[in-house]
Amino acid sequence: MHQPFYRDLVSGEYRLPWVRLHALKDYYGMVKMLDEFPKIRQTFNLVPSLLLQLSDYAAGGAKDRFLQVGLQDAATLTAEEREFLLGFSFRANEQRVIQRYPRYAELCELARNNSQIPGRAVSAFNVEMMRDLQVLSQLAWFDEEYLAHDAEIAALVRKGRDFTLAEQQLVGRKQPELLTKVLTAYRDAAERGQIEISTSPFYHPILPLLCDSNIADVSHPYVALPPQFAYPSDGSAQMMDAKRYLEKTLGSEVKGLWPPEGAVSDEVLARAAAAGFRWTATDDCVLQQTLGHDLIAEEKYRGYVWQRDGAPDEEKIQVLFRDHRLCELIGVVYARMEAQEAANHFVGELHKACDGMLHMGQDAIVPIILDGENAWEHYLENGRPFLRALYRRISEDASIEAVTVTEALAGGAMARLPRIFPGSWIDGNFDIWIGAEEDNRAWELLLAARRRFDEGTSATAENKRLAWEELMIAEGSDWCWWYGPEHSADSRGEFDNLFRNHLANVYRLLGDAVPAELGHSLLKVQLPQHRGPAGMIQPVIDGKQTSHAEWANAGRYRAAHTSGPMHSQRPPIQELRYGSDGQNLYLWLGQGESKLKFTGMDLNVQIRNSSGEQYSIKLCPNGEGIGISSALPEGAVQAALQDAFEIRVSMTALHAKAGSQLFIKVEVSSEGLPLGSLPTYGDLELKQTAMAAYTF
């Protein structure tokens, strides 16, 4: 359970509302639902930067403009406040969160239809619409436990629209009531032994890069790197501060450390052991790189003791490696499946993975380690039907026991690791946080502020303490998560502003002028998500780039990574290119400029013409090429797969004329499991070219 630090330590203002909203939606119910399943024991990782802000909200001390505007009488909102409300009220999963409430979906569509002309969306909303939006944009984040068991909130959900000012104020009163329950629920579950609580360094930094940013070159040789950032003592301080804070806040010993994003190195593990942690964990891709070969079950499903040769016992720590594939099934696939079907599939996969070990008389430890909050808004009812079905299946299976990490590691035979490969749970490297131009510039600015702090100052002791905290906050992982090409979302600009403001506060608190470069965004201009064709095309259908020109005039649609907080939610097909020669529709489906890393996927391409007729084309790669299944006439479809999918479809077969509209949706699956779709919601209208004779 993690959120970056959104509060400005100088102004006290919260720049983004995600601590409050996720505390309403996830943190309480995720542990509370274990009351129903006494056999299920789990480990929850609580990051201090989250708990510090949560305590601020629960105590009523948070200055949150999002909440203030959300609770203000809609009749008194200024034009600027109305615009602010419309700009942030729809930053939620449209299918699972917004469309769950018909009035919310109606208001979302109204805002979208009027968003192309500045000011039109604001004028399209009257006072009643604004109040409904104020209520629903908060009510939609309320936990399932609250929706089910609080009569007043349930009544608001049933009413659905036309809310009064009194009902709007009720939503405001209910929020701190729930927020105060969160930590109590974790304490209670820990005291009865059903959960173990672990932690992460205080402000969630990527520890190996904090210790030595040049280590990124090991997992990605020759990656472009900024000037070396090497402050291992900062990593130790953040780990020790976190352990002390959690133990004081929750009243029990914290044995485990989740290194942010599973990022580890030998230096990190040595310092974690020295800080008093007994266990840690990362991804099986790190184990594979460490051992230097493909893993077998006996290597994956066991505990390890990391200890460098000749090191004393105080410098050893137990390590688990999560099963990447099984975790991705929950993070990516099961949100698109019926809850019981998904639970059955997961338990079946557990058995397939472990049965060989069990038949040899060995127990298997299978670490399932997941992002605590971000997956569930992609699920029906915030994932609760799936989790209940899964917990029930595990509880009923005599050969499976859900245990905490400390329980799993107790008494089992440990393999020794004298070294560990430096990497993270994302591709086994650090590319998300360093190497891109935006990332490297962020590291340069952080290094400059860190060096300035070391130079000394005549600032007061309190200001120097706050400047140190701002530095530790700026070392967090979330800022560079949004820099670089990997992730994008509506909040990307706010994260950029937050990072630069935290660094600017370092200088302000030390009594210095803020460097001019901190006043300029680090973000580069991005290509539009969807652009139409520039002219006709006639590519060779061979699945590879035959020439640079063959797709140069194509229209392009890039998947929007609006679920950026979860790397695993990136779509398996990220880009569609399309065009026509007047007789055929040509499609290219792949990963942008990169080759497809995973070609074991099936595509279902659905094309609808302007008359509403829909045609389905199924593409199933096999050892002999690519199988095509379609009701279209023979020869109407041609397809190939190498670096990307390339497809030709006869426009005559589609009953499409020059200048007419076509709509497309591509569904991706593997071994019968849904992986995603392009676009995520609805159909994509293929834009026409400027050359009317060749439009479709």
Q: Domain ranges in the chain?
A: 13-36+47-185, 186-322+407-417, 325-401, 437-519, 530-694
Q: Two tokens at 390?
A: 């899964």
Whether the CB-CB separation of 439 and 392 falls below 8 Å is answered with no
Q: At what angle do helices 437-454 and 461-474 cross, to 10 degrees?
A: 160
Spatial CB neighbours of 683, under 8 Å, sequence gap ≥ 6: 606, 608, 663, 664, 665
**CA 186, 238, 520 angle in degrees (round to 5)?**
110
From the list 111, 57, 114, the residue with the least C-alpha distance to 87 is 111
Residue spans of the chain under pLDDT 50? 562-563, 690-696
pLDDT at 222: 94
- Alpha helix stretches (DSSP H) within 251-330: 266-274, 284-291, 297-300, 324-328
Q: Tell me the per-residue pLDDT of 132-173, one tens digit each, with 9 for 90 and over.
A: 999 999 999 999 988 989 999 999 999 999 999 999 999 999
Whether the CB-CB separation of 349 and 342 falls below 8 Å is answered with no
pTM to 2 decimals?
A: 0.86
Q: At what angle do helices 165-179 and 127-139 cross, to 10 degrees?
A: 20
Q: Two tokens at 328?
A: 């991705």
pLDDT at 695: 39
**CA 135, 136, 139 angle in degrees (round to 5)?**
85
Whether the CB-CB separation of 49 and 2 falls below 8 Å is answered with yes
Q: How far apart are CA 208 and CA 621, in angstroms?
A: 40
Q: How many CB atoms lie within 10 A of CB 423?
A: 29
pLDDT at 694: 37
- Alpha helix stretches (DSSP H) within 140-181: 144-149, 151-159, 165-179
φ/ψ of 630, rounded to 5, equals: -160, 150
The residue ranges of DSSP E strands in 130-272, in sequence order, are: 195-198, 256-257
Q: What is the CA radius of gyration of the chain?
A: 26
Whether the CB-CB separation of 380 and 342 falls below 8 Å is answered with no
Q: Name the CATH architecture for the domain at 530-694.
A: Sandwich (2.60)
- What is the layout of strands, in order, in the sheet containing 303-306? 256-257, 279-283, 317-322, 303-306, 414-417
Q: Name the CATH architecture for the domain at 437-519.
A: Up-down Bundle (1.20)
φ/ψ of 658, rounded to 5, equals: -55, 130
Whether the CB-CB separation of 370 and 565 falls below 8 Å is answered with no
The DSSP code for 140 is T
Instruction: Note the CATH number of domain 186-322+407-417.
Output: 3.20.110.20
* DSSP codes, 581-595: -SSEEEEEEEBTTBP
Amino acid identity at 509? L
The DSSP code for 7 is B
Helix/strand/coil for 692: helix
